[in-house]
A = this chain, B = another copy of it.
Amino acid sequence: MRTDKRANDEMRLIKITDDFVKYPEGSVLIEFGETKVICNATVNESVPPFLKGTDTGWVTAEYSMLPRSTHSRNVREAQRGKLSGRTHEISRLIGRSLRSAVNLEMLGERSIILDCDVIQADGGTRTASISGAFIALNKAVKKMIERGDIEQSPVTEGVAAVSLGLVNDELLLDLNYEEDSSAQVDMNLVGTESGKIIEIQGTAEESPFERGKVSEMLELGFKGLEVIFAAQKKISDF
């Protein structure tokens, strides 16, 4: 049994606090157990240079951790003057995942920026970020419809993400920090409500893994995604 008494295929408690910050067009605090991330969506009436004049919109994301969201304090990236490779990698993953579920032409020449700021990290910050950012995005879209910016939602379907891994030769869903630290294989799965894959990333942390494990992992992952979709729907339908 897992240290927090969960079954191997059981998610941690998911909690989503609506309207966590008052200024953004969409804002939630999402919690996967002890992992807490503020997800804010900002609508900008501009697009990156490569989209100027194309009538197409953009969705992008920035991920960051508070210095003391972890056991020991990290130096601020603003102090060091540059983003770490990990920050870049996760920010790109969040942005890419959400773009997959948005019809960018229906958005018009506008950007939606998702800021995912981790307040407390206990494993799964990137999957919580994606799952929370999707709600913030969806709420921002509703506000744009209300304001008359767009007529219909460009969101094509629900997006969520979950981590899973092989720990002591057992497949576990939604790893906490302790489990993640000792995982032999680590997978992040971003999927849609209709059961499709947006992104799959599986990494052998210590030694290569059998090809056959992949479908087992996918099955477990989609089981977790269903729980997240249910939690997301309590805050905002999509």
User: Which residues 42-70 in A have Cβ within 8 Å of B in the complex?
Assistant: 42, 44, 62, 64, 66-70
Q: What string of 1s and 0s marks CB contacts (under 8 Å) between A57-94 and chain B?
A: 00000101011111101001111011111111101100
Q: Tally A residues with Cβ within 8 Å of B.
A: 68
The segment out of A7-15, A147-155, A214-222 that lies at the interface is A214-222
Partner of A81 from the list B40, B81, B209, B214 (CB cut-off 8 Å) is B81
Please name all residues of chain B whose beta carbon is closer than 8 Å to the beta carbon of A100 when the two chains form the complex: 204, 206-208
The verdict on A124 contacting chain B, using a C-beta distance below 8 Å, is no
A214-B208 in contact (CB<8A) = no
Please name all residues of chain B whose beta carbon is closer than 8 Å to the beta carbon of A208 when the two chains form the complex: 100-101, 157, 191-192, 194, 196-198
Nearest CB on B from A116, distance (A): 11
Which of A71, A78, A100, A157 gathers most chain B CB within 10 Å? A78
A-B contact pairs, 29 of them (CB 8 A): A21-B120, A23-B68, A23-B71, A27-B68, A40-B66, A40-B67, A62-B79, A64-B76, A66-B115, A67-B113, A67-B115, A68-B115, A78-B82, A78-B83, A86-B92, A88-B89, A89-B92, A100-B204, A196-B208, A196-B209, A196-B210, A197-B210, A197-B211, A197-B213, A199-B202, A199-B203, A211-B222, A214-B215, A214-B218
